[in-house]
Structure 1
Amino acid sequence: MAIQKKKEGKIIMTQRELETKQVIHSLKREHRQPPLYNQVVEQIRRLIKEGVLAPGDQLLPERELAEKLGVSRTSVRQGLAILEGMGVVEINPRDGAYVRQPSLEGAVESLTQALYQEREQVSHLFEVRQIIETQAARLAAERRTAADLQRLRRLNQRFAAGLQQGDLAFEANRAFHLGIVETARNPLLSEIMGTILTATVEVYAMARQQSLANTPNLAKFVNEHAQIIEAIDQQNPDLAASLLAKHIDDACKRVETVVERDK
């Protein structure tokens, strides 16, 4: 039975009552509302996503924004500082805050962060690559020119030279794969693929390095590239897509092996 004792005019709680109070305090802390500046961040991002705010638009002055969002000016300042750090807004001390134009650099950074958080799910990334690159290979086979074929062969030669010099040729390999997508002549597809490949290199560079270190015959990758170029040259979309799909699938398995081992 819980009993309270008095000592020098003060109430002393029993151990059980003290533990109960601590649990209640802990639960209250867990259910505490997120900081108000987070609400500022989320509401402004939502307005941008819904098209209410567009790149170049100026946000309301700090005082008006605070009134509209129902928070203090301090919370508004903190929220805007976070949005500036995320690259969502640009703050000019004289003019106030403006919505920034999305940039490729920002897209790469965001994608890299997402890939890093899900880096153990290697297959997800390579599935996306396979979907984009195999379709690009089909289009490349239909649209290629003699100049495109010369460029792809030069890129593969550069890749081969790097491997022969003991370099794992990350950039040359990236340039070759992007070259196939560029041969499809779809600027948007090239932009998307360039972003994905850049983020891939940043996240999986170490895993790829370790996987290739255990591969005795690196020249086979050069040969696989050459076969893909030949299929594009022959204007055979199905063969080009099939060869590239297997090439990407093999790369996925190699990287997955290293990532699983290092968990």
Structure 2
Amino acid sequence: MSKELLNNFSEIIVEGPVDKIINQIKELISSGQLKPGDRLPSERMLSERFAIGRTYVRDAIRKLEFYGILKTMPQSGTFVAGFGITALEGLITDVLKLEGNDFHALVETRVLLETNSARFAAMRRSEDDIISISNALDEYEKAVKEGKSTVEEDLLFHLKIAEASKNAVLKSLMLIVTPDILTYFKENDVCSGDRPKSALEEHHTILRYIIDQEPMKAEISMREHLKDILNFASDNLSP
């Protein structure tokens, strides 16, 4: 079989238990069977219903909490939060159909949000924020070293910086814009090759400036970090 013909085939992604749980919950929310404020069954009950270990259920809930789709209240249980579902479904549009000027505008918006996020994070971050961003960076580095897709870990790193900015509106806007852009890049194999490794070094630089509370350097480093995706979007502008 020639290499040219082989390139026509795509890698088959096999969903794991966590992904299947997430998709079920997403579908229940999208269909209206689960509404904002509804409480989910306990981890034990869900584990028995899915016929899988509670660890998988816990990991799925943790991811959905991160995206703002679920919220766990001590002594009360886990509830549907509401707004965060837009982050996974895509509030603006189907980004895979975006082309040219529309996609470029979306990327420009991300750059504006991210650079300000980094600047505010350097000004306002707490010690807990540093721990959260560092943990997210550790997960990203682990994925890079294992040669896995880093899309989710990359998003986590950037959103933890947004949390450190102490601007809830900025973070909410990033939750709308960023996941769709990263999905587009993954579908089009934009962030392949050595890009994750170079991005890892850039992540470390950004974090260092946030730790040192140097807002201008953090902003500049973030802008430099996002230069490649802005160039990609510019190269794909509609004529």
Settle same-fold status: TM greater than 0.5: yes
Query: How many Å separate the matches in 2 of 1:104 and 1:161?
Result: 26
Change (3 A) 1:178 1:106: closer
* 2:216 maps to 1:247: no
* 2:90 maps to 1:109: yes
Identity level (%): 21
Query: How many Å separate the matches in 2 of 1:103 and 1:147?
Result: 25
Tell me the equivalent position of 2:201: 223
Change (3 A) 1:152 1:104: closer
Q: Structure 2 regions of 5+ residues with no counterpart?
A: 1-81
Tell me the equivalent position of 1:141: 122
Tell me the equivalent position of 1:196: 177
Cα contact 1:112–1:203 (8 A) shared by 2:
no
**TM value normalised by structure 1:** 0.53
Larger-gyration structure (1/2):
1
Query: How many Å separate the matches in 2 of 1:123 and 1:186?
Result: 25
Count the aligned residue pairs: 155
* 2:214 maps to 1:236: yes
Alignment map for 1:54-133 (pairs within 5 Å): 103-106=83-86, 108-113=89-94, 115-121=95-101, 122-133=103-114
CA deviation string 1:62-109 (max 9, x = no partner) = xxxxxxxxxxxxxxxxxxxxxxxxxxxxxxxxxxxxxxxx84435743
Q: Secondary structure at the match of 1:218?
A: helix
Tell me the equivalent position of 2:138: 157
Partner amino acid for 1:183? A
Cα contact 2:117–2:162 (8 A) shared by 1:
yes
Shift of 1:182: 0.7
Q: Secondary structure at the match of 1:111?
A: coil
Change (3 A) 1:211 1:116: closer
Tell me the equivalent position of 1:211: 190
Query: How many Å separate the matches in 2 of 1:164 and 1:191?
Result: 30
CA deviation string 1:1-24 (max 9, x = no partner) = xxxxxxxxxxxxxxxxxxxxxxxx
Query: How many Å separate the matches in 2 of 1:196 and 1:242?
Result: 21
Shift of 1:219: 2.0
Cα contact 2:185–2:191 (8 A) shared by 1:
no
Partner amino acid for 1:175? L
Change (3 A) 1:218 1:132: closer
Query: How many Å separate the matches in 1 of 2:179 and 2:219?
Result: 22
Tell me the equivalent position of 1:42: none
Cα contact 2:91–2:176 (8 A) shared by 1:
no
**TM value normalised by structure 2:** 0.58
Shift of 1:252: 2.9
Query: Which has the bigger relative contact order, CA under 8 A and spacing at least 6?
Result: 2
Shift of 1:200: 1.9
